[in-house]
């Protein structure tokens, strides 16, 4: 049986205290090996304090130009007047990349905000290894190529092209841990990527809604994504199949 290498990434660190704690658990008690940080999000500095102590994990900037939640919003690192095409009249990010596209977001402002987010993460003493994008925003204003160049200039890994999708499985598979197990059982030798957004199902995250979703739905789903990295059945499957959870900095390592 060939070796299965799995880039395991926990996204949206900084969106909530619950997310910060759950992501630490996903790394220390589970298989997450990469943490993507939302620098503009409200709990970013609290996340940075926890991440200073985290070992054996790559930290990345989760380049964020959107705030998708109905009732929790944030804006850019740069002063809103310097990135006017990226924000609404309150200086906050729009809900989706399509909103940015429709409002003619400027490529130069997107790149300036990307640089500012990298600098802000480093200013908190974090050793940043990579950059990926929140909600796939790089297509707006055809920014992807120049963003990749900026990432290279900053000495970072451009995460977006790395790791194949895990095999498709029947939609009837229930639960995030069960879905990952089924995907790993179907996988053959290669380097794959799996991404989760861990939180706890707690009062803080029950406030988060998207597209008028029922109260608590987001919290339940993201608690499942936490368990995708930590459930004993997942850990048993990873061990039994010899799956190697890896960091982005190991993705090019053939050894």
Q: What total number of domains does the chain contain?
A: 1
Cα end-to-end distance, the chain, whole Å = 16
pLDDT of 204 higher than 90: yes
Per-residue model confidence as pLDDT tens digits over 79-93: 999 999 999 999 999
Q: Is residue 102 part of a domain?
A: yes
pLDDT category at 207 given cuts 50, 70, 90 is very high
pLDDT of 2 higher than 70: no
Give the range of the structural domain holding residue 87, as residue numbers without chain letter.
Answer: 4-250
| Cα 76 to Cα 92: distance, rounded to the nearest angstrom | 7
Q: Is residue 255 part of a domain?
A: no
- Looking at residue 48, which CATH number applies to its domain? 3.20.20.370
Q: Is residue 73 part of a domain?
A: yes
Rounded to two decimals, the pTM is: 0.96
pLDDT of 253 higher than 90: no
| Cα 121 to Cα 142: distance, rounded to the nearest angstrom | 25
Per-residue model confidence as pLDDT tens digits over 125-150: 999 999 999 999 999 999 999 999 99
pLDDT of 1 higher than 50: no
The position carrying tokens 């160049």 is 149
- Please list, residue by residue across 172-198, b when 16 or more beta carbons sit within 10 angstroms of its beta carbon and e when fewer do: eeeebbbbbbbbbeebeeebbbbbbbb
Closest CA to 182 of 172, 193, 195, 197: 172
| Cα 100 to Cα 106: distance, rounded to the nearest angstrom | 9
pLDDT value for 182? 96
pLDDT value for 170? 84
% of the chain with per-residue pLDDT over 90 = 95
Q: Is residue 26 part of a domain?
A: yes
């Amino acid at each position: 049986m060939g070796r299965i290498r799995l880039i395991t990434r926990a996204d949206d660190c900084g969106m909530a205290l619950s997310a910060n704690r759950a992501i630490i658990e996903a790394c220390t008690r589970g298989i997450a090996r990469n943490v993507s940080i939302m620098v503009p999000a409200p709990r970013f500095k609290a996340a940075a304090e926890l991440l200073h102590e985290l070992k054996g994990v790559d930290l990345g900037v989760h380049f964020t130009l959107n705030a998708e939640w109905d009732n929790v919003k944030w804006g850019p690192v740069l002063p809103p007047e310097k990135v006017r095409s990226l924000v609404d009249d309150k200086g906050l990010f729009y809900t989706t990349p399509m909103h940015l596209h429709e409002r003619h977001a400027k490529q130069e402002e997107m790149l300036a905000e990307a640089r500012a987010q990298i600098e802000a993460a480093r200013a908190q003493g974090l050793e940043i290894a990579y950059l990926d994008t929140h909600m796939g925003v790089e297509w707006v204003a055809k920014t992807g190529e120049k963003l990749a160049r900026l990432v290279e200039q900053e000495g970072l890994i451009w995460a977006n092209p790395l790791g194949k999708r895990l095999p498709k499985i029947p939609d009837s598979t229930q639960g995030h841990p069960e879905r990952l197990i089924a995907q790993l059982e179907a996988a053959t030798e290669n380097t794959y990527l799996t991404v989760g957004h861990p939180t706890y199902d707690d009062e803080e995250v029950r406030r988060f809604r998207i597209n008028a979703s029922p109260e608590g739905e987001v919290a339940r789903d993201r608690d499942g994504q936490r368990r995708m990295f930590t459930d004993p059945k997942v850990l048993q499957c990873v061990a039994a199949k010899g799956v190697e959870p890896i960091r982005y900095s190991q993705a090019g390592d053939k050894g």
